[in-house]
Structure 1
């Protein structure tokens, strides 16, 4: 299984790290090697809902995200195959980014999608902040696992928690926030 490293700015996420089996970001992330790709997040009404920055590292990408307007608690968080975010349902984002043709979920015995990410945790005000290091995608153009493939990809946050097993999206519910990943 590839290394997935999840470190959160929010205290609620930090407390969940040992339970999720994620290691400290400081022990895994490499030095920044490129300018970050900036992602503007929107809600189901097309209004601003936060930002994300995706930075190429020597051995993967670092995703830094801050999203607002969420319900308190855990939210499924994924990379989707299309660089489109048409409100209100964001179905234009397509399915999970899945260059390897795997199943969904970190706990799935058949592996997981290239777009699977750890749940985000929104605090009592509905804000989720986090940093996620992912070693199974890249910003390098021309690679099968590149987030900057022709047409781009997108970040999607769901209404509910990802169970890390169920196809196709971990029973995480409606898509409530979306942002396009492109140059």
Structure 2
């Protein structure tokens, strides 16, 4: 029976797909990074009342960041970035360092060239002062240890909108909320 199955599969060009021998265990193990998720609990900085909770999920080609950020002025726009260091301990969140930029690119708008890996579009608060975030960050990873891995880094909300042009960080002003990206 096995010989007939192998001969039939070979004739159809499906020899690897029709094998009756189970593949080695390493061939079927799921990739660890594909099952990872993370959260970032944003806390107020620089005397603001801004806070929020964001979830991060790996997607094809990047990471999805979703959740709500409250305590913003109604209708206001704010720079929103991934920063290089997962440390929000300074009162002004300066401990989070600069924008996440593993490839030493100039600052710019996400989706345009050039831009930092941590550059994202501005967020906008609704009439209640809540920004509903749902963004796909292309070209970054979550928890795989690569140079573009954002696990353990920080998400920062700025006081003003990013102008996407000023170097090195878009002239977005003070850091008003910060949260470390913690993989669960």
TM-score, with structure 2 as normaliser: 0.74
Instruction: Tell me, in whole angstroms, the C-alpha distance in 2 between the residues paired with 1:34 and 1:177.
Output: 28
Q: Report what 2:103 is aligned to.
A: 100
**Number of equivalences:** 148
Q: Report what 1:179 is aligned to.
A: 179
Instruction: Tell me, in whole angstroms, the C-alpha distance in 1 between the residues paired with 2:149 and 2:59.
Output: 13
Q: Report what 1:124 is aligned to.
A: 127
For residues 104-123 of structure 1, the C-alpha deviation after alignment (integer angstroms, 9 at most, x for no partner) is 11289861101000100012
1:42-121 paired onto structure 2 within 5 Å: 42-44=43-45, 49-72=51-74, 73-106=76-109, 111-121=114-124
> Greater Rg, structure 1 or structure 2?
2
Q: Any unmatched runs of 5+ in structure 1? A: 1-32
Structure 1 residue 84, shift from structure 2 partner: 0.6
Seen in structure 2, the aligned counterparts of structure 1 residues 34 and 47 have a Cα distance that, compared at 3 Å, is farther
Seen in structure 2, the aligned counterparts of structure 1 residues 123 and 87 have a Cα distance that, compared at 3 Å, is farther
Structure 1 residue 58, shift from structure 2 partner: 2.4
Q: Report what 1:39 is aligned to.
A: 40
Seen in structure 2, the aligned counterparts of structure 1 residues 123 and 65 have a Cα distance that, compared at 3 Å, is same
Q: Report what 2:158 is aligned to.
A: 158
Instruction: Tell me, in whole angstroms, the C-alpha distance in 1 between the residues paired with 2:164 and 2:142.
Output: 24
Runs of at least 4 residues off by over 4 Å:
45-48, 107-110
Q: Any unmatched runs of 5+ in structure 2? A: 1-33
For residues 121-143 of structure 1, the C-alpha deviation after alignment (integer angstroms, 9 at most, x for no partner) is 01222110020012211114221
